[in-house]
């Protein structure tokens, strides 16, 4: 696999400019940053989401809070973030940051997913319902939403061992296999009517433009299948996991660029016209560590993909990294500095995890510098230490923007990032 040599050379120069002092290693980083991340997770992130977002009346979670964390009203409940919160509380309990209280919080979401968002007639999860769950607002099925349901159910099972939870996850997996798996071209078809028949050609999906396969959807199918395979150990789940690893490490990668793009025809022919000719730095960085984790779950080596990991990181570093202040911008056109120079909470989250995964895999201390500088920026600017949680977006002029909680924002990206990073840092004595 060959990548753009100039990009790699310039990225290497940039890395050299970040050289650390001799003797500094992950143990040194852990001494400084472990307590900071633990404080961020427990006193800022968890303290914001628990217990106030749990809907004690209807089940599930209230996710409709303004920039200061004030509830704006009941809002609606969408499968992606409802499922992400089930995952968040389950993983908190499984990684030892709490006990029964977080399992109870996860159960509130699980019961809502199963009782109010699961389509009892056709199977699968509705996209969006009202606060009570009684009124179904968006009934069609998108694989992006189904992926997060599978992710949440699998994690909740790993945290509780409840057979009924694994049974529902397996039922969903089998449904996705029967209705959505593309046996000709690989991967999954994404957009269906309520009854899983093909949606009308050209109809706009909940994820945007019609008729495409998305790198973004398959990225989250990868993380879901990783966790589902760990939970189920089904041979077919491993087969699909290996297929998704191949897609995310090959089909979505533009080899001459050293970066990924998002839109594809059914046969994985890339769509690169207009605004599709751009790179989302956060998704590429997330792809690195999710592929790493998927390979570990599947029991295969990461080293054959190491050149890809380096290329993706180098590209994001060259074009999307803020060398002056730290942190990563949102996206940009091919081989150009970032066009959108906003800093999103989820991009910074995935950058931190990816940097530490890359250090653990390569022992190249230059990745620690990226982690440290990015986290320093987060601590100074992205975290709202007064009102809790992280700001959705920091605009180029430094102004925070966006709601703290909404149908696309929950405790998943930054909560997961802190837990993943702490797992690596805790390994250092």
403 with 293, same domain: the answer is yes
306 and 326: one domain? yes
183 has pLDDT over 60:
yes
**Which pLDDT value is given to residue 24?**
67
Residue 246 in domain:
no
pLDDT digit string, tens, across residues 256-269: 999 999 999 999 99
Q: Taking residues 382-404, report their average pLDDT.
A: 98
pLDDT digits (tens, 9 = 90+) for 75-116: 999 999 999 999 999 999 999 999 999 999 999 999 999 999
pLDDT for residue 428: 76
Distance between CA atoms of 88 and 228, rounded to whole angstroms?
16
Instruction: Assess if residue 387 is contained within a domain.
Output: yes
- One domain, residues 41 and 63: no
Indicate whether 244 belongs to any domain.
Answer: no
The arithmetic mean of pLDDT across residues 172-194, rounded, is: 98
Same-domain check for residues 89 and 123: yes
The answer to whether residue 47 scores a pLDDT higher than 80 is: yes
Do residue 257 and residue 226 come from a single domain? no
Q: Which of 173, 200, 232 is the last residue of a domain?
A: 232
In a domain, 150, yes or no: yes
Res 23: pLDDT: 42
Is the pLDDT confidence value at 363 over 50? Answer: yes
Convert the pLDDT of each residue in 233-254 to its tens digit: 999 999 999 999 999 999 999 9
Could you tell me if 374 and 327 are in contact, meaning their C-beta atoms sit under 8 angstroms apart?
A: yes
- Total domains, the chain: 2
**Contact at 8 Å (CB) between 252 and 260?**
yes
pLDDT average, residue stretch 288-294:
98
User: In this predicted structure, what is the pLDDT of residue 2?
Assistant: 42
Cα 289 from chain centroid?
Answer: 10
| Residue 373 to residue 352: CA distance in whole angstroms | 9
User: Is residue 38 scored above 80 in pLDDT?
Assistant: yes
Query: Has residue 414 got a pLDDT over 50?
Result: yes
Q: What is the pLDDT of residues 365-387, one digit of tens each?
A: 999 999 999 999 999 999 999 99
44: CB partners within 8 A, 6+ apart: 383, 384, 385, 388, 389, 390
Question: 300 and 385 share a domain?
Answer: yes
Q: How confident is the model at residue 429 (pLDDT cuts 50, 70, 90)?
A: low
Q: Are strands 77-78 and 141-142 parallel, antiparallel or unpaired?
A: unpaired
Same domain, 139 and 268: no
Of 132, 118, 270, nearest to 194 by C-alpha is 118
Residues 5 and 124 placed together within one structural domain of the fold:
no
Assess whether 69 and 206 both reside in one domain: yes
pLDDT of residue 42: 98
Question: Considering only CA atoms, which of 140, 138, 133 is closest in space to residue 74?
Answer: 133
Burial of 393 (0-12, 13-18, 19+ CB in 10 A): middle
CATH number at residue 41: 1.50.10.10
Q: What is the domain range of residue 69?
A: 59-232
Q: Is the pLDDT of residue 7 over 90?
A: no
Give residue 315's pLDDT: 98
Average pLDDT, the chain: 94
- Is residue 71 assigned to a domain? yes
Q: Which pLDDT value is given to residue 201?
A: 87
C-alpha–C-alpha distance, residues 376 and 37, integer Å: 11
Q: Is the pLDDT of residue 160 over 60?
A: yes
Whether residues 300 and 344 fall in one domain: yes
94 and 16 both lie in a single domain? no
**Reported confidence tier of residue 5, pLDDT bands at 50, 70, 90:** very low
Verify that 412 and 380 share a domain, yes or no. Answer: yes
In-domain check, residue 241: no
Q: Is 318 contained in some domain? A: yes
Is the model's pLDDT at 422 over the cut of 50? yes
**285 is a domain residue:** yes
């Amino acid at each position: 696999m060959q990548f753009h040599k100039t990009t790699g050379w310039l990225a290497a120069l940039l890395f050299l400019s970040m050289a650390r002092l001799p003797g500094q290693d992950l143990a040194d980083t852990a001494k400084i940053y472990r307590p900071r991340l633990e404080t961020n997770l427990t006193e800022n992130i968890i303290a914001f989401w628990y217990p106030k977002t749990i809907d004690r009346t209807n089940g599930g979670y209230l996710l409709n809070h303004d920039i200061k964390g004030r509830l704006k009203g009941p809002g609606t409940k969408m499968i992606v973030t409802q499922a992400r919160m089930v995952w968040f509380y389950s993983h908190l309990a499984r990684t030892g940051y709490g006990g029964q209280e977080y399992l109870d919080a996860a159960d509130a979401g699980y019961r809502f997913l199963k009782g109010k968002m699961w389509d009892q007639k056709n199977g699968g999860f509705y996209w969006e319902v009202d606060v009570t769950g009684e009124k179904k607002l968006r009934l069609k099925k998108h694989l992006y939403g189904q992926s997060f349901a599978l992710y949440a159910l699998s994690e909740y099972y790993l945290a509780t061992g409840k057979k009924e939870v694994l049974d529902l996850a397996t039922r969903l997996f089998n449904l996705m296999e029967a209705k959505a798996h593309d046996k000709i071209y690989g991967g999954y078809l994404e957009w269906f009517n309520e009854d899983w028949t093909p949606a009308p050609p050209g109809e706009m999906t909940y994820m945007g433009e019609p008729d495409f396969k998305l790198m973004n959807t398959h990225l989250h199918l990868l993380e879901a299948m990783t966790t589902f395979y760990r939970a189920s150990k089904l041979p077919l789940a491993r087969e699909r996991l290996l297929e998704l690893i191949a897609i995310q490490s090959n089909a979505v990668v533009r080899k001459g660029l050293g970066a990924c793009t998002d839109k594809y025809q059914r046969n994985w022919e890339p769509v690169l016209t207009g605004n599709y000719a751009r790179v989302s730095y956060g998704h590429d960085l997330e792809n690195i560590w999710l592929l790493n984790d998927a390979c570990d779950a599947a029991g295969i080596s990461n080293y054959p993909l190491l050149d890809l990991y380096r290329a993706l990181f180098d590209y994001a570093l060259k074009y999307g990294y803020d060398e002056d202040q730290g942190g990563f911008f949102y996206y940009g056109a091919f081989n150009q500095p970032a066009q959108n120079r906003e800093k999103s909470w989820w991009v910074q989250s995935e950058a931190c995890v990816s940097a530490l995964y890359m250090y653990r895999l390569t022992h190249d201390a230059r990745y620690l510098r990226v982690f440290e500088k990015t986290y320093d920026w987060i601590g100074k600017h992205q975290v709202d230490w007064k009102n809790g949680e992280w700001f959705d977006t920091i605009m180029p002029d430094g102004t925070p923007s966006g709601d703290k909680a909404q149908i696309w924002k929950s405790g998943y990206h930054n909560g997961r990032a802190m837990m993943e990073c702490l797992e690596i840092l805790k390994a250092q004595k």
